[in-house]
């Protein structure tokens, strides 16, 4: 498996600094959410080449997938993101879904999402890029977010029916929403493109809460998964020390 850090792991430091730290730690990629914040994509691509690691995932524009009136804007955002990904050699695009619309039947909103994603799929397939829906918990962090459960999210992916539309499975969010983490994280493997990890409660680095990340990561590894696992978390201690502890106490027991 490949491991990535997320922008913000080193507060106040830019993306190039993060890439250098990722290289130093022997990790494999950076999740940089807002590609449009990079001032010069071609210059950043050159920095990736120089350092030897690059952005592994970014986000599309934050536009609701369940509001039909925003469909054209969402599709245009995906188109722009694909062009940025071509320049940066990024193969994964993360998408949130937007909040549930009050007073509108849930099945109507879900059908709107599926249709919009079906219209995006040919662009993604042609580019060789996977768009990843991300279920988020509504109890602690994202009240009202449309997709929260992994089973409903998988159903959406299946209805779209494209190899270029999958999920990012965030262990922290799914622990809060539904538990049953190992069964869902491995059982839905064919619809998952990559994983996010953080501990619960607190959303800090693995090893600080209730989740047994040795067992979770071993279970994912045992499926043969070879994609990215991203540390999307805060840190209770110095970031370098926290990452080293993660490698020593968790990864060393996963990779044996």
9: DSSP letter: S
Which pLDDT belongs to residue 201? 98
Going by pLDDT thresholds of 50, 70 and 90, the confidence category of residue 106 is: very high
Domain spans of the chain, in order of start: 2-254
Residue tagged 């809060």 (tokens):
176
Q: Where are the beta strands (DSSP E) in 76-232?
A: 92-95, 130-133, 165-170, 192-197, 228-231
Which pLDDT belongs to residue 256? 73
CATH architecture of 2-254: Alpha-Beta Barrel (3.20)
- CA 22 – CA 29 distance, rounded (Å): 7
* Positive/negative CA dihedral, 224, 25, 206, 92: negative
- Given a contact cutoff of 8 angstroms between Cβ atoms, the answer to whether 92 and 57 are in contact is yes
By CB atoms closer than 10 A (0-12, 13-18, 19+), residue 103 is exposed
Helix or strand or coil: residue 145?
Answer: strand
Residue 255 has pLDDT above 90, yes or no: no
Reported as a single tens digit per residue, the pLDDT across 25-44 is 999 999 999 999 999 999 99
- CA 93 – CA 160 distance, rounded (Å): 16
**What average pLDDT does the chain have?**
98
Reported as a single tens digit per residue, the pLDDT across 195-230 is 999 999 999 999 999 999 999 999 999 999 999 999
Which pLDDT belongs to residue 136? 98
Reported as a single tens digit per residue, the pLDDT across 129-146 is 999 999 999 999 999 999
Reported as a single tens digit per residue, the pLDDT across 167-191 is 999 999 999 999 999 999 999 999 9
Residue with the larger pLDDT of the pair 255 and 235? 235
The pTM is what? 0.97
Q: DSSP of 209-240, one letter per residue?
A: SS--HHHHHHHHHHTT--SEEEE--B-SS-HH
- How big is the CA angle at 252 (ends 248 and 253), to the nearest 5 degrees? 120
- CA 147 – CA 12 distance, rounded (Å): 31
């Amino acid at each position: 498996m490949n491991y990535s850090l997320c922008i913000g792991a080193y507060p106040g430091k830019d993306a190039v600094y993060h890439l250098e730290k990722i290289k130093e730690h022997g990790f494999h990629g950076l999740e940089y959410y807002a590609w449009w914040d990079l001032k010069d994509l071609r210059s950043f691509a050159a920095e990736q080449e120089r350092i030897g690691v690059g952005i592994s995932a970014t986000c599309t524009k934050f536009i609701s997938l369940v509001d039909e009136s925003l469909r054209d804007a969402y599709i245009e955002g995906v188109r722009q993101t694909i062009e940025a990904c071509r320049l940066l050699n990024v193969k994964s695009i993360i998408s949130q879904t937007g909040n549930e619309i009050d007073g509108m039947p849930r099945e109507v909103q879900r059908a709107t999402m599926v249709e919009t994603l079906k219209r995006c799929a040919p662009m993604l397939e042609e580019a060789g890029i996977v768009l990843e829906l991300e279920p988020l918990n509504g109890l602690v962090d994202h009240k009202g977010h449309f997709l929260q459960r992994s089973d409903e999210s998988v159903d959406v992916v299946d209805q779209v029916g494209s190899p270029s539309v999958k999920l990012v499975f965030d262990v922290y969010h799914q622990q809060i929403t539904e538990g049953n983490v190992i069964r869902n994280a491995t059982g839905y493997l064919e619809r998952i493109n990559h994983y996010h990890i953080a501990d619960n409660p607190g959303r800090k680095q693995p090893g600080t809460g209730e989740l047994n990340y040795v067992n979770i990561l071993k279970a994912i590894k045992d499926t043969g998964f070879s994609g990215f696992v991203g540390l999307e978390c805060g840190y209770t201690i110095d970031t370098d020390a926290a990452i080293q502890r993660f490698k020593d106490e968790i990864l060393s027991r996963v990779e044996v």
